[in-house]
Chain A
């Protein structure tokens, strides 16, 4: 069974760093892209970026380039989303999702979400 299990809720102060995780199981981790999606409170879905665990090829949305870093650890089938210096505006739910390509690319499995709260 394919599963993406994300790390738990985080409460941080502005300026702090953070890394959240997305652990994959039930499939070949290196064969499928993993995307990260932000959802701010009461708002829609924002695509942040995507990584191919097989070779760490990473693409970012222009809105998030230089704001976050996406990485993987192939030894433990885990993808990461990282901030060096959090802002209050980073408060949101963050989802990881597996991309599959059949006719087109879409997200077939999603993590349960990681809630990040940034407040002084």
Chain B
């Protein structure tokens, strides 16, 4: 099974900060990597698919990069509505998935 390791598990940041979350796969997954945002009490929401493609309606301050085993989600200027948990998810082993353990972004 493909394991996904996210880091950090949590971080504190201020509005306007640049935030970077990383996700590492236990084996190469090409660009089969997606990112989701989840706010408390809500279902996850897709942000980025295929490692770097922004889903429709997602603000351009979100970006994704990487291929192979190492991936990054970047928020260029953190906004109040971005305080949430973020999850990476691999889909290389189609149709099965694996999620990373999540990163909680909190207000400093």
Interface residues of A (CB under 8 A from B): 33, 35, 37, 44-47, 50, 52, 59, 61-62, 95, 97, 99, 101-108, 110-113
**Does B87 sit within 8 A of A, measured CB to CB?**
yes
Set A47, A99, A108, A113: member contacting B98, Cβ < 8 A: A47
Contact yes or no, A95 B43, CB < 8 A: yes
Contact yes or no, B97 A105, CB < 8 A: yes
**Does B1 sit within 8 A of A, measured CB to CB?**
yes
B54 to chain A, nearest CB (A): 12
**Interface size on B (CB < 8 Å)?**
29
Q: Which residues of chain B from 53 to 104 have any CB-CB distance to chain A below 8 Å in the complex? A: 53, 55, 85, 87, 89, 91-92, 94-102
A44 and B53 in contact (CB under 8 A), knowing A95-B43, A103-B31, A108-B46? no
Residue ID in chain B nearest A44 by CB atoms: B102
Contact yes or no, A105 B46, CB < 8 A: no
Secondary structure at the A interface, as helix, strand, loop or mixed, is: strand
A4 to chain B, nearest CB (A): 9
Contact yes or no, B87 A52, CB < 8 A: no
Residue ID in chain B nearest A112 by CB atoms: B43
Contact yes or no, A110 B43, CB < 8 A: yes
The complex places the Cα of A120 from the Cα of B41 at a distance, in Å, of 25
- Chain A hits for B53, CB < 8 A: 103
**Does B22 sit within 8 A of A, measured CB to CB?**
no
Contact yes or no, B43 A47, CB < 8 A: no
The complex places the Cα of A102 from the Cα of B94 at a distance, in Å, of 13
Contact yes or no, A44 B87, CB < 8 A: yes
Residue ID in chain B nearest A100 by CB atoms: B49
Contact yes or no, B95 A99, CB < 8 A: yes
